[in-house]
Structure 1
Amino acid sequence: MNHQSIIKLMNISTFSATERTTWLSKLESESFDLLVIGGGITGAGIALDAATRGLKVALIEKKDFAWGTSSRSTKLIHGGLRYLKQLEFSLVHEVGVERAIVHSNAPHIVIPEKMLLPIVEEGSLGKTLSSIGLWVYDRLASVEKEERRKMLEKEVVLGLEPLVRPDILLGGGLYYEYRTDDARLTIENMKTAVANGAVCVNYAELTDFIYKENGYVGGAVVRDHLSNKTIKVRARRVVNAAGPWVDTIRNHDKEGVIGKRLHLTKGVHAVVPYEKLPLQQSVYFDVQKDNRMCFAIPRGNVTYIGTTDTFYDTSIDQPNATKADVEYILDATNYMFPSAKLNLSDVESSWAGLRPLIHQDGKSPSELSRRDEIFYSETGLISIAGGKLTGYRKMAERVLNFVSKTMRIKSSSKTQKLKLSGGDFESTEAIQEYIYKVRGEAKQINIKLEQVQTLVYKYGTNTDLIINRAYELYNTIGDTQERLLAAEVWYSVHYEMTNNLCDFLIRRTGRLYFERPSLEHCYPFIADQMAKLLDWSEEQKTEELAAFKLEYEAVMDFKRS
């Protein structure tokens, strides 16, 4: 079966970088009910909620989708156990319930993960308070019975995780969270919004607002960075969901930033080879020096650790990990897992993300609330700030309820039981059945089970298109690994608006963060494939290779800071 037949069978919408001129033309020539500014998880969620309510939706993003915070989080869909310490019970309840919903809608990229909480001397919570806290957490988050917390004695904890420091260990708790790929969750939302009629374009930046005769915002002047073309996009309502750039966008409005404002904090993660920190499950542990908490999460051949939480007031466009950030993480890890003896030379990659929190006088970074809030200007600009990755769907619902009131229409969210692109599975068992089915079909072209698993946990049922493309390339590319990689690049360009190497290697696949040592040998091949698909000149290809090389080096800049 060719890919066109599969598209019809699976009801998949193309979202191709080769058709950007068509998408831009739609932005310019049509009028919309809603224009969303910002292509992170919040903007993607808003576009999807609006499109499924029947509104005509446009979305613009000045860089790539998920370029900012939405590709640089701890990559967990979690209930926020630590927010119980801040007595934010309603927040814990909401995001706890949302975990199960997001998992159900995208089970291929939101995966249950056992989380071990060591209880240690002089830790943030003792045995009794930890037990009570986890019990409350289970109830507030409506956790299923089989996933509820278990309190463990010291010997059991050491049996589960021998690397934990024994001399300060008192016991522990075992509970469940959900691991995800934040950038892929964003793109799956975006693709589903497009399938429901939304027009979404990356590398398209707002440069100014358009105002109606009554002084209300009626659209935006937009510059496309890839064609250097400027267009006007007209809409009845405009939502500013630009994450850390929310106040930047507000400053483009006549009203400016009045009243509440953002307070950015930076979170850094470090990646080490799994053999350097071979944990048996994810661990949520105390940081001795400042009474914060840190995650250590095994993922394939690596373990990633984070996060920091510090105020940030420099360039929003290029947050990077510093030597001090990474040393903080390594010191905390070595204290809890002393046999690891990690140092800077062990770190293979890193990332730094910015949290767009709402300013509260006198509070430290970790004390700032993670609640979201809507700002409404006198010109009608609607801005959404704050919030957590886990709560993106409810944030979008609240924004659209607000938009509907301003438009004097009645509508309700349809996303609670809406499967995201690739997520057409009814159970975890169904994912495994699908993996073995695809493996059986792909045997003829020498694709291994592990390769199929990797694809399915990125693309879900859309893996069919990639395998089908690999069949088409069988007589063209002899090496199995290169053939499969070429098929993945082809899919990403044609169905995920992937425009360059950085889009593919950072946000569509996460390879820069989790497979960096292997990239030096394969990214020139990927550039060759993209050059063919996107019709790059040799000069363009050279520029794209140089741009990726900068990112490749940037994740290790902390060694030079």
Structure 2
Amino acid sequence: MRPFSAAEREQRLVRMQNSEYDILIIGGGITGAGIALDAQTRGMKTALIEMQDYAGGTSSRSTKLVHGGLRYLKQLQVKMVADVGKERAVVYENGPHVTTPEWMLLPFYKGGTFGALSTSFGLRLYDYLAGVKREERRKMLNVDATAAKEPLLKKEGLLGGGTYVEYRTDDARLTIEVLKKAVSAGADAVNYLKAEKLLYDNGKLTGVIAKDSIDGKEYRIMARQIVNAAGPWVDELRAKDHSKRGKTLRLTKGVHLVFDGARFPLRQAVYFDTKDKRMIFAIPRDGKTYVGTTDTDYIGDTAYPRMTEADRAYLLAACNEMFPGVRLTDRDVESSWAGLRPLIYEEGKSPSEVSRRDEIFTSPSGLITIAGGKLTGYRKMAEHVTDLIAKRLPVGSGPAWKPCSTRTMPLSGGDVGGSRAFPGFVRRMTAEGERLGLSGAEARLLTERYGSNVSELYRLAQEWRAEEAHGLPRIVYAIVRYSIESEMALKPVDLFIRRTGALFFDIDWVRTYKGQVIEYMADSLRYTEADKQAYAAELERELHAAVTPEDREEPDDAGEADYIAGSKTDQRSGEAAGPNV
């Protein structure tokens, strides 16, 4: 059996039903994936189930930054900034192929939130708390140097700026690489499998009945400890466990817009404040520029949050205020995404003020729930949960559970010798790809995305045969086949959103190859005709949602500033590089 093949998913399900695990994790986002890796590598027999695709919720719809939360210094959340700030470098070292240093420019203006003194002090404190290495520490700039860094910036009222380093990532691919590492260590993981019923023995939680959303079959999966890492759905699972009391979730929605780099030629990532005192990122990436995020309370379909006209209008207004020369309009939005933040509810606070800290709850039945938190802190969150489990689970006559080892553990694809060695690795493997007949751009793209797994992509590219590829070019064939065979991609949306990010950052590529991809996946995974039609329709729905606001009118008195600050509740009932391939 291949470690993580969609074609062998049913065999894995049967094996899971016939096994008993130390830990069953419900939730296949970054938090669940991190716990699976930590627990399995400590010697715990681990399983993970996800009712959607891996990273299908929050973990593919963030701002795509492994960052320390500079803005939380304003809220005096010093410990959280220190903790997650230090984790940025850990994530980068363990996965330099999915994490890239990004110099961020923080301009300050007359009458703005920040001034020269507060910016300098804040960035210096940030460097100290996050343990930033010398070459990445903050630099202060005068007016001319700030304008030269990013010529599109508004000049009126500009007083200067500061630069500091954040880390840009592909959040979904980070999740997939963590999970692949866990699976390679012996964990079992299956997507599109929902925990329908919880099983008990004398009041103690012992397992679940899980339903496969692909074929409707049910599986009984037993474990000594069950962890609820379901992100926006943790309260639903707590309700099934009859333990939803005390602190609960507050879901807030964040929207990002994507523009073509030719239309919005930003050359420097910028972190700027708005008229309503919120902070927004504008980031160049692979020939595109993306901007976000909003922050509104959310009530609606948790699985399918959507951009609204108010969301789009707010971000466009913020961009045109800070970068007045670009004059962006609705027509310039190439793509978008909306995601939910599962925050811990705090009375009397607006969405932007609610803490991003994580908390662990343990119910009388033994269910452990991890809620809140940030992408950057996933590894420490996993360590805290697994530490708790290690204390609760007896090890029998064998040796004690191993200590956490993930701090210096390369992720899948991360065996490149560390971050400093990665540029040299990219050069060598790009040259290797060219020797095998790929273009330099194609080989570089594969190397930068897949890291030390690129050799497998090269092997698949060499096996390309026109008569078997359903019209897919060599590089696309290799990506699609690798996603199916080594990353358990089951549907076209898995490939286009979570395995490549193309629906967000190269939507024309999706439109170009969607037909051939559907045909190839249908052949490889033996779709029925009904499956094929349903998955094609699902992809069309995602394409439509990326460019079309949700058809819902805002209340007449909901001004942009009030709407985004959270004084209006977002009530809806929605529906369930080179080429960036």
Q: TM-score, normalised by structure 2?
A: 0.92
Correspondent of 2:323 among 329, 337, 341: 337
Alignment partner of 1:269 is 2:256: yes
One-letter identity of the residue aligned with 1:49: D
Determine if contact 1:150/1:174 at 8 Å carries over to the other structure. Answer: yes
**1:465 is the counterpart of 2:456:** yes
Asked whether the equivalents of residues 286 and 293 of structure 1 are also in contact (C-alpha less than 8 Å), the reply is yes
Counterpart of 1:390 in structure 2: which amino acid? Answer: T
* Residue matched to 1:85: 74
Q: CA deviation at 1:429?
A: 5.2
| Offset of residue 542 of structure 1 | 2.5
Q: Give, in whole Å, the separation in 1 of the partners of 2:466 and 2:338.
A: 42
SS at match of 1:558: coil
Structure 2 unaligned spans of 5+? 553-581
> Which residue type is aligned with residue 506 of structure 1?
I
Q: 1: CA distance between counterparts of 2:362 and 2:482?
A: 39
User: Using a 3 Å threshold, how does the CA distance of structure 1 residues 201 and 124 change in structure 2: closer, same or farther?
Assistant: same
Question: Given residue 547 of structure 2, which amino acid in structure 1 is its aligned partner?
Answer: M
1:26 maps onto 2:15 in alignment: yes
For residues 143-158 of structure 1, what are the structure 2 equivalents within 5 Å? 143-158=132-147
Any idea what SS the aligned residue of 1:439 has?
helix
Residues 83 and 92, structure 1, Cα contact 8 Å, conserved in 2: yes
Q: CA deviation at 1:150?
A: 0.3
Structure 1 letter corresponding to 2:259: V
Deviation at 1:476, TM superposition (A): 4.6
How far does residue 503 in structure 1 lie from its aligned partner after superposition? 0.3
1:297 aligns with 2:286: no
2: CA distance between counterparts of 1:211 and 1:329? 48
Distance 1:543 1:238 in 2: 33
Deviation at 1:326, TM superposition (A): 1.0
1:247 and 2:235 are equivalent in the alignment: yes
Native 8 Å contact 1:119 1:172 kept in 2 = yes
Matching residue of 2:156: 167
Is contact 1:211–1:218 with CA below 8 Å preserved after alignment? yes
Structure 2 contact 209–221 (Cα < 8 Å) conserved: yes
- Paired with 2:317 and 2:445, the residues of 1 have a C-alpha distance of 32
Note the aligned Cα RMSD (angstroms).
1.7
Shift of 1:475: 6.0
Other structure's SS at 2:355 match:
coil
Q: 1:283 to 1:360 in 2, by over 3 A?
A: same
What's the CA shift for 1:468? 1.1
Aligned to 2:480, which of 477, 480, 489?
489
3-state SS of paired residue (1:398): helix
Shift in Å, 1:457:
2.3
Aligned partner of 2:273 in structure 1 is 286
Structure 1 residue 456 displacement after superposition = 1.9
CA contact (8 A) 2:284 2:290 kept: yes
The amino acid that maps onto 2:549 is F
Once residues 326 and 489 of structure 1 are traced to their aligned partners in structure 2, the CA distance between those partners, rounded to angstroms, is 32
Alignment CA distance shift 1:236-1:559 (3 Å): closer
- Residue number in structure 1 paired with 2:211: 223
SS in 2 for 1:318: coil
Give runs of aligned pairs for residues 52-131 of structure 1, distance below 5 A.
Answer: 52-131=41-120
2:382 aligned with 1:396: yes
CA contact (8 A) 2:105 2:163 kept: yes
User: Alignment identity in percent?
Assistant: 47
CA distance in structure 1 between the aligned counterparts of 2:364 and 2:468, rounded to whole angstroms: 59
Aligned AA (2:350): S
Call closer, same or farther: CA 1:276–1:445 in 2, change over 3 Å.
Answer: same
Question: Is 1:405 the equivalent of 2:391?
Answer: yes
Gaps in structure 1 of 5+ consecutive residues: 1-11
SS, match of residue 275 in structure 1 = coil
Matched, 1:346 2:346: no
Q: Which moved more, 1:465-474 or 1:151-160?
A: 465-474
Give TM-score scaled by structure 1 length. 0.95
Paired residue type of 1:365: P
Matches within 5 A, 1:150-549: 150-213=139-202, 215-253=203-241, 255-288=242-275, 290-408=276-394, 411=401, 412-428=403-419, 430-444=421-435, 446-473=437-464, 476=467, 482-549=473-540
Distance 1:466 1:166 in 2: 47
CA–CA separation in structure 2 for the residues paired with 1:62 and 1:153: 51
Alpha-carbon offset, residue 313 of structure 1: 1.6
Q: Deviations over 1:272-319 (max 9, x none)?
A: 11122211221001112x100000010112100000011112221210
> Is the contact between residue 146 and residue 160 of structure 2 (CA under 8 Å) also seen in structure 1?
yes
| DSSP 3-state at the match of 1:355 | strand
SS of equivalent residue, structure 1 residue 171: strand
Q: In 2, Cα distance between the equivalents of 1:304 and 1:190?
A: 27
Q: Is the 8 A contact 2:31 2:378 kept in 1?
A: yes
Any residues of structure 2 matched to 1:6-21 within 5 Å, and which?
Answer: 14-21=3-10
Task: Tell me the amino acid that sits aligned with residue 399 of structure 1.
Answer: V
3-state SS, counterpart of residue 555 of structure 1 = helix
- 1:7 aligns to what? none
Q: Give the letter for the 1:229 counterpart.
A: K
**CA distance in 1 between partners of 2:200 and 2:127 (Å):** 48
Which AA in structure 1 matches 2:185?
A: N
